[in-house]
């Protein structure tokens, strides 16, 4: 009889205990270097699309890629959505407004520190601890570090999805396409070597699979 009571209590407690998290964490890196700044309108569209896909308890952050991207100062906007629908809608509108302001006022940076941004993304998402972690890199993936910046660092991207968006071809890529393919290959090797999953989406009309 006691055993039955204990089983019942355990079942009740198991039923009431918080279930495992099923929220999503998204960190989007937006390249603002050189001519890529002109692509920011597209980035804004992707951000808005991502906002429409996210829901209660999801985390979302947008950060710029500039000379030194491993910094909280580069985070343009960040939010962890509330669990009440009305508040979520308000948060989404505020977030979209912040991003619009950023797109209007963004300045072009002389260097491109993608690795630093990725490190910052990993740190942010690990801190938030969502069930699914996604890093969106809106860039041509051409890293150009200022002298003195050390980015030869090992990542731990276990459980991360890293998605490169709108990886445009540079003029030099047109001359020698191997450069472009090599660049993509290097990033893929870097991400997958660190335990992450790598994906490239260049057709921005086909974002349905994103998030």
Stretch that binds another protein, among 51-59, 135-143, 163-171, 173-181 (CB under 8 A): 51-59
Residue 96 lies near another protein (rule: CB under 8 A):
yes
Residue 73 lies near another protein (rule: CB under 8 A):
no
Task: Please state, in angstroms and rounded to a whole number, the distance separating the CA atoms of residues 62 and 119.
Answer: 14
Task: Please state, in angstroms and rounded to a whole number, the distance separating the CA atoms of residues 140 and 29.
Answer: 12
Task: Please state, in angstroms and rounded to a whole number, the distance separating the CA atoms of residues 191 and 155.
Answer: 8
DSSP codes joined into one string, 140-207? ----BPPTT---------TTEEEEEE--PPPHHHHH-HHHHHHHHHHHHHHHHHTT-EEEEE--TT--
Rounded to a whole number of angstroms, the minimum distance from the CB of residue 83 to another protein is 4
- CA separation, residue 96 to residues 9, 173, 183, 203 (Å): 47, 34, 32, 22
Binding mask 1-40 for another protein (x = CB under 8 A): -------------xxx-xx---x-----------------
Nearer to another protein, 40 or 157 (CB): 40
Task: Please state, in angstroms and rounded to a whole number, the distance separating the CA atoms of residues 156 and 153.
Answer: 10
Indicate the helix (H) or strand (E) that contains 124. helix 114-128
Residue 83 lies near another protein (rule: CB under 8 A):
yes
Stretch that binds another protein, among 45-53, 133-141, 163-171, 198-206 (CB under 8 A): 45-53
From candidates 85, 129, 193, 195, binder to another protein by CB under 8 A: 85
From candidates 37, 48, 78, 151, binder to another protein by CB under 8 A: 48
Stretch that binds another protein, among 42-50, 125-133, 137-145, 181-189 (CB under 8 A): 42-50
Q: What are the residues binding another protein (CB under 8 A)?
A: 14-16, 18-19, 23, 45, 48-49, 51-52, 55-57, 83-86, 88-89, 92-93, 96
């Amino acid at each position: 009889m006691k055993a039955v009571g204990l089983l019942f209590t355990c079942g009740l407690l198991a039923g009431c205990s918080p279930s495992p998290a099923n929220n999503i964490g998204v960190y989007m890196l937006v390249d603002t270097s050189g001519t890529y700044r002109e692509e920011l309108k597209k980035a804004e569209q992707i951000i808005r699309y991502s906002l429409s896909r996210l829901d209660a308890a999801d985390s979302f952050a947008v950060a710029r890629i500039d000379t030194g991207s491993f910094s909280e100062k580069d985070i343009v906007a960040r939010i962890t959505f509330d669990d009440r629908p009305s508040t979520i809608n308000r948060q989404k509108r505020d977030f979209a407004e912040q991003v619009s302001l950023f797109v209007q006022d963004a300045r072009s940076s002389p260097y491109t520190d993608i690795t630093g941004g990725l490190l910052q993304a990993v740190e942010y998402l690990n801190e938030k601890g969502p069930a699914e972690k996604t890093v969106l890199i809106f860039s041509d993936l051409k890293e150009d570090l200022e002298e003195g910046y050390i980015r030869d660092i090992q990542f731990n991207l276990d459980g991360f999805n890293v998605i490169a968006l709108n990886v445009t071809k540079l003029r030099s890529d047109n001359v020698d396409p191997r450069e472009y393919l090599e660049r993509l290959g290097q990033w893929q090797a870097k991400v997958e070597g660190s335990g992450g999953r790598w994906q490239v989406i260049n057709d921005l009309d086909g974002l349905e699979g994103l998030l």
